[in-house]
């Protein structure tokens, strides 16, 4: 039922997933690619099956991933000024479903991710008020689940990182970055007294940045990846991995 929302937009779930995962920025990696594949028993997304998205929150997440990476090409979604409106039927349905799931279920990473993706969609349509509310909702769930970036330990600089740990770090940084983007736009578009306070707490100096997966070459010029963690106070002038 939830995935039928994508059918109304003339797209397929596998295309939405693949397109999203190909366009995300490390600081806005709201959905962890490897964990999403494991949770849906899928590695390629080319022929994802209905039974692999039996969980309502996961199904809604696919719809929200589509919002993040696509523009609605329906003429009905165009405003009188020729600009795309945020109030499409699919968007309203997704918001209603998220509200129902928030009421019936306990907070989960998937619901946080849905709220974050919808917040980004709202922000990209300059609906800062709705985006601010969505970020607040996502942050409330994140606080309940103790989602955070984790702490930098030099001994773990190149240690193997569990997917679940990296996912929580990705969610935190996505929350923080989008929250500050909304704040910046409010400061440009509104009077200072109308700017709402930041929602997400800033990182401490020893909090971890999103993990770097650096491409290196051995003596035989064979490529391999090195995983590296860096603290939030890493100077921008320092090239990580050097």
pLDDT of residue 187: 77
Residue 7 dihedral angles phi and psi, to the nearest 5°:
-65, -35
Residues of the chain with pLDDT under 50: 46, 50-51, 72-83, 241-242
pLDDT of residue 39: 81
Secondary structure, 3-state, 115-154: HHHHHHHHHHCCCHHHHHHHHHHHHHHHHHCCCCCCECCH
pLDDT of residue 215: 59
pLDDT of residue 118: 95
Which residues does 124 contact at the CB level (< 8 Å), separation at least 6?
none
Cβ(3)–Cβ(59) below 8 Å:
yes
Q: What phi-psi label fits residue 190: left (phi over 0), alpha (psi between -120 and 50 degrees) or beta? A: beta
pLDDT of residue 188: 75
Of 103, 23, 21, whose CA–CA distance to 61 is shortest? 21
Of 79, 62, 56, whose CA–CA distance to 11 is shortest? 62
pLDDT of residue 79: 43
Q: What phi-psi label fits residue 191: left (phi over 0), alpha (psi between -120 and 50 degrees) or beta? A: beta
pLDDT of residue 192: 61
């Amino acid at each position: 039922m939830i995935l039928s929302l994508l059918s109304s937009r003339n797209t397929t779930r596998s295309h939405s997933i693949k397109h999203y995962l190909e366009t995300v920025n490390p600081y806005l990696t709201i959905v962890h690619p490897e964990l999403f594949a494991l949770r849906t028993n899928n590695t390629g997304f080319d022929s994802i099956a209905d039974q692999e998205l039996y969980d309502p929150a996961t199904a809604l997440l696919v719809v929200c991933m589509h919002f993040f990476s696509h523009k609605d090409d329906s003429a009905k979604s165009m405003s009188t000024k020729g600009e795309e409106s945020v109030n499409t039927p699919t968007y309203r349905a997704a918001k209603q479903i998220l509200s129902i799931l928030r009421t019936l279920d306990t907070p989960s990473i998937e619901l946080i991710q849905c709220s974050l993706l919808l917040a980004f969609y709202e922000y990209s349509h300059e609906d800062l008020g709705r985006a601010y509310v969505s970020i607040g909702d996502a942050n409330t769930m994140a606080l309940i689940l103790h989602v955070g970036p984790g702490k930098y330990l030099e001994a773990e600089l190149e240690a193997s990182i569990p997917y679940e740990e990296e996912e929580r770090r990705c969610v935190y940084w996505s929350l923080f970055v989008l929250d500050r983007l909304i704040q910046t736009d409010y400061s440009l578009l509104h009077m200072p007294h109308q700017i709402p306070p930041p929602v997400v707490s800033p990182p401490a100096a020893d909090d971890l940045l999103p993990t770097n997966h650096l491409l290196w070459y051995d003596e035989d010029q064979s490529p391999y990846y090195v995983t590296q963690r860096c603290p939030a106070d890493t100077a921008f002038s320092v090239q990580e991995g050097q």
